[in-house]
């Protein structure tokens, strides 16, 4: 078995109305989140952010455009017990790099790893997402509506 690397990205997507895209995980219907994913060996966090947005939403952004903003924020948190078997046995902490990007509300979202998605106002998104690091990123990096 190949273990996951304990390094990941969190990419919060929001639209021109400051609504946040949240997605429901296939493996846990109570777990809603922004785009997340493991950084592959030899991959930079920003490259992983672009790749994960494309893989999870079907929205392909170009690294040359600079659409995804590095928030210069890194989280470390304990890996969920339910997911520990996916990681090396002696690793219990994940390091998560935070990014944000604005996409149009009419972007075509194609889910590959989630069963549903919604555009939610900030307070609703904060109440819906499961992880504290996701809530903190929404609070800190999604602008207030104009």
Residue 131 annotated as binding site: yes
DSSP 35-49: EEEEPPTT--HHHHH
Q: What CA–CA distance (Å, rounded) separates 69 from 34? A: 15
Residue 52 annotated as binding site: yes
Q: What CA–CA distance (Å, rounded) separates 134 from 63? A: 23
Number of neighbouring beta carbons within 10 Å of residue 146: 6
Residue 56 annotated as binding site: yes
Q: What CA–CA distance (Å, rounded) separates 82 from 80? A: 5
Termini Cα distance of the chain: 49
Q: Among all chains, which residue has been given the structure tokens 């046995």?
A: 89
Residues at the binding site for Mg(2+) are: 52, 56, 113
Residues at the binding site for substrate are: 4, 25, 36, 131
Residues at the binding site are: 4, 25, 36, 52, 56, 113, 131
């Amino acid at each position: 078995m190949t273990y996951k690397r304990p390094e990941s990205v969190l990419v919060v997507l929001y639209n021109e109305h400051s609504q946040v895209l949240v997605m429901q995980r296939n493996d846990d219907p109570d777990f809603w989140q922004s785009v997340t994913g493991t950084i592959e060996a030899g991959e930079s966090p920003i490259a992983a952010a672009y790749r994960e947005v494309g893989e999870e939403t079907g929205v392909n952004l170009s690294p040359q455009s600079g659409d995804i903003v590095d928030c210069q924020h890194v989280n470390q948190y304990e890996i969920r017990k339910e997911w520990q078997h996916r990681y090396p046995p002696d690793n219990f902490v994940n390091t998560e790099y935070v990014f944000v990007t604005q996409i149009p509300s009419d972007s075509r979202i194609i889910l590959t790893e989630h069963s549903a998605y919604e555009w939610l106002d900030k307070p609703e998104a904060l109440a819906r997402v499961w992880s504290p690091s996701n809530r903190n990123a929404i609070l800190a990096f999604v602008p207030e509506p104009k």
